[in-house]
Amino acid sequence: MSEAVKTSSLTGAVSPTIPVLVCALAIFLLSGMDAAMKSLVIAVGVYNTVLWRSMVATLVAGAAWSAGPRSKPTLPVLGLHALRAAIVGIVLLSFFWGLARLPLAEAIGLSFVAPLFALFLAALLLGERIRRQAVWASLAGIAGVAIILAGQFGQAGHSQDALLGTAAVLASTVFYAYNLILSRQQALLAKPIEIMLFQNLCLAIILGLAAPWLAVALPRDLWLPLVGVALLSLSGQFLMSWAYARAEAQYLIPTEYSAFIWAIALGWFFFGEEVAWTTLAGACLIVAGCLIAARANPKLAEPIEAAV
């Protein structure tokens, strides 16, 4: 396929400048959402934060879906929405549980390992060939994780809680890698607004099954931050989808790793977190591995914020 044909398949202009700026804005919004989520998780726990966020997001996405042209999804598509919602639920619960126990920058840096897992899952589930770049990318990512873990063990006051948080974030990346595979299938069958609505609706229903035992009413002063979290999440997802529809992934992927910079700034400003040199070095190796992975399969080389 010629470059001219590839460009015409996108719905925007040839220049990627505007989509790159939009993608960078989306990453900033999603980074702010992560910081706000950490505060909420510390206040009321990860289950209640994710439960109430999914309910608010369902109302917002439902209003947007009702206002525009829409079609009812078929049963197979609903099944795919429900399956992905279950996987996203595991991703969110494990990631934000770990985030409450780790510095923001460290959790975000570890989450970047997800695309490397996605490359191997694509080979396992979709029959794609594992290329040499994927092997080198994985080695770089593993080295980055090892450096971050070594930094934790090297601290005089390292805690078991931080190590459990690290394990939770890494577990979330494995499920997120499968989520990436599902999101590609989902994008072929439904529009972004429909995906946002039914994903959050199904997640709210799944989490709601445990509500009689785990749910608590949110304090009045937390409702505004919760609504803000939902709006930041939906806005970030929408802007990222808009950008990926108008520019090739090779232009957009590097901007997505600006999330680590925002995590350093937000973690310092809101939580007084200092970033160890091991976190910086490890995150750089992980990002390098992801950029190598992007050359092997650009569609799967996206960080964790892109689809949750």
SS (H, E, C) the chain: CCHHHHHHHCCCCCCCHHHHHHHHHHHHHHHHHHHHHHHHHHHHCHHHHHHHHHHHHHHHHHHHHHHCCCCCCCHHHHHHHHHHHHHHHHHHHHHHHHHCCCCHHHHHHHHCCHHHHHHHHHHHHHCCCCCHHHHHHHHHHHHHHHHHHHHHHHCCCCCHHHHHHHHHHHHHHHHHHHHHHHHHHHHCCCCHHHHHHHHHHHHHHHHHCCHHHHCCCCCHHHHHHHHHHHHHHHHHHHHHHHHHCCCCHHHHHHHHCCHHHHHHHHHHHHHCCCCCHHHHHHHHHHHHHHHHHHHHCHHHCCCHHHHC
Nearest CA-CA partner of 203 in 53, 38, 54: 54
For residues 84 and 183, what is the distance between their CA atoms, to the nearest angstrom?
8
For residues 197 and 194, what is the distance between their CA atoms, to the nearest angstrom?
5
Task: Tell me the angle at which helices 17-44 and 46-67 cross, rounded to the nearest 10 degrees.
Answer: 140
Asked if residue 190 lies in contact with residue 77, where contact means CB atoms within 8 angstroms, the answer is yes
Asked if residue 52 lies in contact with residue 215, where contact means CB atoms within 8 angstroms, the answer is no
Write down the pTM of the prediction. 0.83
User: Who's near 254: CB < 8 A, 6+ residues apart?
Assistant: 291
What's residue 223's pLDDT? Answer: 94
Mean pLDDT by 10 residues, the chain (308 residues): 39 68 90 93 94 93 84 86 93 94 89 78 71 77 84 66 90 87 78 86 95 93 92 86 75 80 91 88 85 65 49
What's the Rg (C-alpha) of the chain? 19
What's residue 210's pLDDT? Answer: 95
Asked if residue 275 lies in contact with residue 267, where contact means CB atoms within 8 angstroms, the answer is yes
Asked if residue 58 lies in contact with residue 208, where contact means CB atoms within 8 angstroms, the answer is no
What's residue 116's pLDDT? Answer: 76
For residues 280 and 244, what is the distance between their CA atoms, to the nearest angstrom?
28
Q: Beta-carbon neighbour count of residue 74 at 10 Å? A: 11
What's residue 238's pLDDT? Answer: 83
What's residue 17's pLDDT? Answer: 83
